[in-house]
A and B are shown apart, each in its own frame.
Chain A
């Protein structure tokens, strides 16, 4: 029950995109087409779960033990970047089907702040290993949900008559704000 509540909280209430406003560049960049949005969502789920687990381990067994918490950001960047590179190589050799499915999105996430942000939140909330796992997956799923919803809306916006000064990214940000407002309705649910 506790895990379910955690998942709902991470997906809907504290949605990483719409409540925390992390990971805005892929949110705006890859949401023009449903197809790319789905690819991106899958890649984020994959990487975020791995990164969450690894950074938790690094934090618990290395940083906390030697009182080096001030190096958290720096070491997480290093760990996530190496991890993504490693995973990419591993997939290319062992699971080529998944590699070609995730395609270009995998290396793109190396610098995704949603991944970094979610890892830091996990530590800040002092989750144990299982909570970290569930939270990481849920944050990523929330990212995917918001991205796919947004892609659907943007495909419709493309057909609409948008005033010139508001076209493209501007209208995207306005819309994102409105979706975020609607997500605020979930506040206080858990």
Chain B
């Protein structure tokens, strides 16, 4: 008995002495802060941070390998508390939020009847799911089961809906989803996401150069969530008031409803919510990521520059806009006439963008007041060139230097500057005016001249109405306002009197021949059919390109190396990244593409902002993966659409012709709330392959 007690005591003594010695010998200093930090994490051991449990995350924070915001469950409070322990700045992490991108659920047709295990992962193993749609939500809610925070619920339409307030961004739902539909992203990641060839995008969203999620905001309008709709548009387009008025809406051309009856009036709905925000008298807050400390100079305050500055600011960079003009807006302020886009409205919009904390330096011209080298010297990390297309193409005909001959852009800008009180140099208006050209600039010129009191205003265009590049609604409006449109006439020479004043225009009648390389039929002169038009003012509006004269001043300096194309646009290494041959210089808008749409410039501005953000964070500037660039997803443009009852689109309210030609008041009016809801109801809420049929719920 004694020996038993003694030996057990001995064994115990030996073990404890051994352990005691070991704890001395093998002592590892552990930072007491690790335990402190660990107590401040959520303690859920969820693994959402990427470390094996909260203690590993805490050790990583103390070792300086993880930011104080490592605990995504703990959120900002935890980050602040940990930062206090570590004596650090809470850092620049943005909250990550989950989002289900599919709004479909039950509406796509079934490929087969499925009776198996009710989980997404099981059904996805059989030919990618039972629905016809390859990209859509499978609707068995694996994400709902895996969410530890109860943040995902099954919506009434059969697809999971994320409660953004409860979501902590742990990423469990993204990991389990077999279809890559439910995604956890930061705001910056969302802002710089581009349409992808394998994505779930409606035909309108695919067509929109700014890639606005159109069905999403129309659905928000339908549900009366106008502020949500504004925010949805602002994720892609900061100039919704301007675009809602002047955009020629290429999206509506590809609207699937247009195959059945008439396209949804997408742009009027955009204008409705944009005006709703402005008229509510309250600016919706635009969230910005924490500052990164990087500085970007944006040259040009037009749509491209504003868009680029806006997106860069939202992801946390410091932006300064340099602009040649006293006010922001560029071509949409000085080129687009007041009756299409009131400048009060534009001012409200650009003020909102400046309010985000963007600096504006007016009356600064590249090549005159500063150059690229001076910007680099001033500490800017990247430069965006959005200088637009402000130079009129010259028409080399006899008499183009006569008194009374103007070019399109210079006429419009000179008039706009006078009208806005910037200059006191009015444009003398003729009695009988002729505008040469068929683009939007030409139409803007004639409609302005009508309002300025010209007795007779004509357009001379060498092809027919079908080939005219101007928007159809604009041509219609010009016609209603009494403009005389002379198709199939080409100017030969401008006739002047002895004093060098314009008195007439000799025009040659044309007919259409074989198609040229642009696909339009080439006009050829008709033998002997020459007319003389009596006129005292000729405006040449045959197109415009970027003014790259700043290169002259930059000869031998940094800017002198900038590559320019034959068309005098700024050359890019890749049109998908918009980086120029100087790595820290990026471009977009008319300066990069030649004269194009406002919405194209806005989309380009966002694309360039993405590249600049990549450049500033030291990553390679590569195009987005699977980028859907100026094309459509194969099979997503339908020839016919079934199961839809015909219903006309609502009419655009506008000022009657007699009133509007006497003033520069805005012609197009905003639709009423009732009409907006009715129109939103016409949307089929399409995705790549599915759409809401009238009997959608029966499927």
On A, residues with C-beta under 8 Å from B are 58, 62-63, 66, 68, 70-71, 74-75, 78-79, 82, 85-86, 89-90, 92-94, 103-104, 159-161
Query: CB distance A161 to B19 under 8 Å?
Result: no
The distance in angstroms between the C-alpha atoms of A103 and B122, with both chains bound, is 33
A161 to B27, CA, bound (A): 51
Q: Is B4 an interface residue (CB 8 A)?
A: yes
Docked complex Cα distance between A62 and B53 (Å): 42
Contact present for B26 and A90 (CB under 8 Å): yes
Q: Which of A58, A86, A159, A160 interacts with B22 by CB under 8 Å? A: A86
Interface of B is mostly: helix
C-beta contact mask, B1-28 vs A, less than 8 Å → 1, else 0?
0011001100110011011001101111
Assess A159 versus B23: contact at CB under 8 Å? Given A78-B11, A82-B18: no
CA distance in complex: A89, B15 (Å): 14
The answer to whether the Cβ of B117 comes within 8 Å of any Cβ in the partner chain is yes
Please tell me if the beta carbons of B18 and A86 are within 8 angstroms of each other in the complex: yes
Q: Which residues of B contact A86 (CB under 8 A)?
A: 18-19, 22
Question: Which of A89, A93, A103, A161 meets B52, CB within 8 Å?
Answer: A103
With A68-B7, A71-B7 already in contact, the answer to whether A90 and B22 are too (CB < 8 A) is yes
**Contact between B28 and A92 (Cβ–Cβ < 8 Å)?**
yes
Name the residue on B nearest A65 (C-beta).
Answer: B7
Q: Find chain A residues with CB under 8 A from B7 CB.
A: 62-63, 66, 68, 71, 75
Pair B22/A89 contact, Cβ less than 8 Å: yes
Taking the complex as formed, is B118 at the interface, i.e. its CB lies under 8 A from any CB of chain A?
A: yes
What would be 22 A-B contacts, judged by CB atoms less than 8 Å apart?
Answer: A62-B7, A66-B3, A68-B3, A70-B4, A71-B8, A78-B11, A78-B12, A78-B15, A82-B16, A82-B18, A82-B19, A86-B19, A89-B22, A89-B26, A92-B26, A92-B28, A93-B25, A93-B26, A104-B53, A159-B117, A159-B119, A159-B122
- Separation of A160 and B121 alpha carbons in the complex (Å): 10
B residues near A74, Cβ cutoff 8 Å? 8
Which residue of B is nearest A74, CB measured? Answer: B8
Asked, given contacts A82-B19, A89-B26, A93-B27, whether A58 binds B11 with beta carbons under 8 Å apart, the answer is yes
Note all chain A residues with C-beta closer than 8 A to B18.
82, 86
The answer to the question of B116 belonging to the interface, with a C-beta cut-off of 8 Å to chain A, is yes
Question: Which of chain B's residues have a CB closer than 8 A to the CB of A63?
Answer: 7
**Contact call B26/A79, Cβ cutoff below 8 A:** no
Residues of B within 8 A of A (CB): 3-4, 7-8, 11-12, 15-16, 18-19, 22-23, 25-28, 52-53, 116-119, 121-122
Distance in angstroms from B65 CB to nearest chain A CB is 13
The total of Cβ contacts below 8 Å across the A-B interface reads 54
> Which chain A residue has the least Cβ–Cβ distance from B118?
A161
B4: A residues at CB distance < 8 A: 68, 70-71
Nearest 4 interchain pairs by C-beta: A93-B26, A82-B15, A89-B26, A161-B117
- Which among B8, B26, B118, B119 has the highest number of chain A CB atoms within 10 Å? B26
| Nearest opposing residue in chain B for A89, CB measure | B26
Is the beta-carbon distance between B8 and A75 smaller than 8 angstroms?
A: yes
B145: shortest Cβ distance to chain A, in Å? 11
**Interface of A, helix, strand, loop or mixed by DSSP:** helix
**B contact residues around A78 at 8 Å (CB):** 8, 11-12, 15
User: CA–CA, A184 to B510, complex, Å?
Assistant: 97
Residues in A whose Cβ lies below 8 Å from that of B11: 58, 62, 75, 78-79
Please, how many angstroms separate the alpha-carbon atoms of A104 and B116 in the complex?
Answer: 38
A94-B26 contact given A71-B4, A86-B18, A103-B52, CB 8 Å threshold:
yes
Note all chain B residues with C-beta closer than 8 A to A58. Answer: 11
Chain A residues with Cβ below 8 Å from B28 are 92-93
A15 to B18, CA, bound (A): 34
CA distance A75 to B3 in the complex (A): 14
Note all chain B residues with C-beta closer than 8 A to A89. Answer: 19, 22-23, 26
Cβ distance A175 to chain B, nearest Cβ, rounded Å: 17
- Measured in the bound complex, the distance between the Cα atoms of B22 and A90 in whole Å is 8
Closest residue of A by beta carbon distance from B16? A82
Measured between alpha carbons, how far is A63 from B3 in the docked complex, in Å?
10
**A92–B30 alpha-carbon span in the complex (Å):** 11
Which residues of B lie under 8 Å from residue A82 when comparing CB positions? 15-16, 18-19
Scoring B8, B11, B27, B119 by chain A CB atoms within 10 A of each residue's CB, the highest score goes to B11
**Complex CA–CA separation, A79 to B117 (angstroms):** 49
> B117 to chain A: closest CB distance in Å?
5
Q: Which residues of B contact A71 (CB under 8 A)?
A: 4, 7-8
Which residues from chain B contact A94 at a C-beta distance below 8 Å?
26
B3 x A85 contact (CB < 8 A):
no
Besides A86-B18, A92-B28, 13 other A-B contacts (C-beta < 8 A): A68-B7, A70-B4, A71-B8, A78-B12, A79-B15, A82-B19, A86-B19, A89-B22, A89-B23, A90-B26, A93-B28, A94-B26, A103-B52
Write the nearest CB–CB distance from A39 to chain B, whole angstroms: 10
Q: Which partner residue on chain A sits nearest B52 by CB separation?
A: A103
Inter-chain contact B121/A159, CB cutoff 8 Å: yes
Closest to B45 in A: A104
Chain A nearest CB, measured from B54 CB (Å): 12
Given the complex of chains A and B, what is the CA–CA distance between A92 and B3 in angstroms? 37
B121, closest chain A residue (CB): A159
Whether B116 and A161, one on each chain, are in contact in the complex, defined by CB atoms closer than 8 angstroms, is: yes
Q: Given the complex of chains A and B, what is the CA–CA distance between A68 and B4 in angstroms? A: 6
Give the complex CA separation of A104 and B47 in angstroms. Answer: 14
Q: When chains A and B are docked, how far (Å) is the Cα of A71 from the Cα of B5?
A: 10
**Distance in Å from the Cβ of B126 to the closest Cβ of chain A?**
12
B13 to chain A, nearest CB (A): 11
Closest Cβ neighbor of A94 among chain B residues: B26
Closest to A81 in B: B15
Residues of chain A contacted by B22 (CB below 8 angstroms): 86, 89-90
With the chains together, A86 CA to B11 CA distance in Å?
15
Instruction: List B contacts of A160 (CB < 8 A).
Output: 117
Residues of chain A with a CB closer than 8 A to B116's CB: 161
The interface residues of chain A lying within 8 Å CB-to-CB of B15 are 78-79, 82
CA distance A103 to B8 in the complex (A): 31
Q: A62-B11, A66-B3, A78-B12 are in contact. Are A85 and B19 (CB under 8 A)?
A: yes
A71 to B116 alpha-carbon distance, docked (Å): 57
Tell which of A70, A82, A160 has the most Cβ of chain B within 10 Å. Answer: A82
B121 partner residues in chain A, CB cutoff 8 A: 159
Residues of B within 8 A of A66 (CB): 3, 7
- Inter-chain contacts of B118 with A (CB < 8 A): 161
Question: Please, how many angstroms separate the alpha-carbon atoms of A66 and B317 in the complex?
Answer: 79
Which chain B residue has the least Cβ–Cβ distance from A58? Answer: B11
Give A86's nearest chain B residue, CB to CB.
B22
Across the interface, which residues of A come within 8 angstroms of B12, CB to CB? 78
Q: Point out the residues of chain A lying under 8 angstroms from B27, CB to CB.
A: 93
B52 proximity list for chain A (CB < 8 A): 103
Q: How far, in Å, is B346 (CB) from chain A's closest CB?
A: 57
User: CB-CB < 8 A to A93: which residues of B?
Assistant: 25-28
CB contacts (< 8 Å) of A70 on chain B: these are 4
CA distance A186 to B122 in the complex (A): 34
- Taken together as a complex, chains A and B put the C-alpha atoms of A94 and B25 apart, in Å, by 11
